[in-house]
Amino acid sequence: MSEQHYNTLLSFRLNDEFFAIDAMKVNHILEVPDITHVPNTPEFLRGVINLHGNVIPVVDLRLMMGFDNADFSNDTAIVVIAPDEQQDSSLGVVVDMVKEVIEADGMEMKATVVDKEESMLKNFHGTLSVGDDFVHVIDIDELASESEV
């Protein structure tokens, strides 16, 4: 696990658990638009969307993390991230619900234990205790590299 420091995180729900990513790498939060399926791609790749003339691949984080597939609801959103702050490397991530922005400066992050056999994502930065919830912080760079097809 690499040592990371975050000032601001965007938290969201998947299944009944809370996760977060570096808010500084989030470009957009979208209602789920029409997603165009791409043949012969992994199940977790839902397809592509057109965002301001850019083709953005969309991955289902639920499937990447070994959760059961679920239908989209009114709360389902696509979080568009740019891991290296380049428009051509943007990635859309389907989440069950965007929760809140967390000011994480000064919060203590604990190591996260992940079942590496069940989840495609194997590198979490750690877990924060926020109110009554635990929030697992995802490594965006690792997420982007795991989703490349």
Alpha helices in the chain (DSSP H): 61-64, 140-147
Task: Output 72 or 110, whichever has higher pLDDT.
Answer: 72
Bridge partners (DSSP) listed for residue 58: 47, 92
Classify each residue of 15-33 as buried b or exposed e, where b means 16 or more C-beta atoms within 10 Å of its C-beta: eeebbbbbbebbbeeeebe
Q: Kindly tell me if the per-residue pLDDT of 1 is higher than 50.
A: no
Predicted model pTM:
0.84
pLDDT at 122: 58
pLDDT level of residue 23 (50, 70, 90 thresholds): very high
In this predicted structure, the answer to whether residue 35 has a pLDDT above a threshold of 90 is yes
* Digit-coded pLDDT (tens) for 38-71: 999 999 999 999 999 999 999 999 988 888 888 8
Q: What is the pLDDT of residues 74-122, one digit of tens each?
A: 999 999 998 776 556 799 999 999 999 998 877 777 776 555 455 555 5
Delineate the domains of the chain, giving CATH numbers in brackets: 8-147 (2.40.50.180)
